[in-house]
Amino acid sequence: MSKIKFATVWLAGCSGCHMSFLDLDEWLIDLAQSVDVVFSPVGSDIKDYPEEVDVCLVEGGVANEENLELALKLRQHTKVVISFGDCAVTANVPAMRNMQGGADGVLKRAYLELADTGKQLPHEPGIVPELLDRVIPLHEVIPVDIFMPGCPPPAERIKATIAPLLRGEHPNMQGREMIKFG
Ligand code: SF4
């Protein structure tokens, strides 16, 4: 049986969702029997999102041009996209900056008003991605197949979401254990 092509992506998040993924401990060994990890910030250094991916966990909101570009690309090349954690599902913590009223306000506040020394706005086209005006949840930029809330989602929820997909089944995302925020 061919292995499932499995990816994880890290957009604007704290990486806590990926840390929770690693909390799957020995089940990760079982998972490794069934999947090929074709793209992930954890344990791989693949730079380009592959052409064909079966399942992708996407952590984080969409906060800058780089996030947006990767979100659009992964949607194009992935069968099942999972909005992984509260930042992907609602924009959550990264969206707190939306209260500052747009990217300019945030940058000025962080790099000019609050800087003790070296006041300077970051600007390096092609190296520092431009901020979007607002941080937005993943489903506002691409269609999402499965929503897995949680900050972070507990390891058992991650397992209960992924395991059915490995059998070609859709996970049952219902009840407190599967869709509780926070
Ligand atoms: Fe971090 Fe929580 Fe956001 Fe996951 S949902 S990236 S744990 S802040």
Q: Which domain holds residue 163?
A: 4-179
Ligand 1 pocket check for 17: Cβ under 6 Å: yes
Q: How far is the CA of 118 from the centre of ligand 1 (A)?
A: 30
Ligand 1 pocket check for 16: Cβ under 6 Å: yes
pLDDT tens digits, 112-158: 999 999 999 998 988 999 999 999 999 999 999 999 999 999 999 99
Ligand 1 pocket check for 60: Cβ under 6 Å: yes
Q: pLDDT at residue 101 above 90?
A: no
Contacts (Cβ under 8 Å, ≥6 apart) of 36: 3, 4, 5, 6
Q: pLDDT at residue 1 above 80?
A: no
Nearest atom (ligand 1) to Cα of 85 = 5
Task: For residue 109, give both structure tokens.
Answer: 């506040």
Which one, of 38, 34, 14, lies nearest residue 24 by Cα?
Answer: 34
Task: For residue 39, give both structure tokens.
Answer: 């793209």
Report the residue among 62, 92, 147, 180 best suited for mutation to probe ligand 1: largest number of ligand atoms under 8 A from its CB.
Answer: 92
Nearest atom (ligand 1) to Cα of 151 = 2
Element (H, E) at 53: strand 53-59
As a whole number of angstroms, the distance between CA 135 and CA 117 comes to 27
Q: How far is the CA of 147 from the centre of ligand 1 (A)?
A: 14
**In CATH, what number is assigned to the domain containing residue 122?**
3.40.50.700
Q: How far is the CA of 117 from the centre of ligand 1 (A)?
A: 30
The total domain count for the chain is: 1
Q: 172 — alpha (psi -120 to 50), left (phi > 0) or beta?
A: beta
Ligand 1 pocket check for 12: Cβ under 6 Å: no
pTM value? 0.96
CB 153 within 8 A of CB 89: no
CB 59 within 8 A of CB 32: no
Cα dihedral: 156, 169, 10, 87 (round 10): -70
Of all residues in the chain, the percent with pLDDT exceeding 70 is 99
pLDDT tens digits, 42-67: 988 899 999 999 999 999 999 999 99
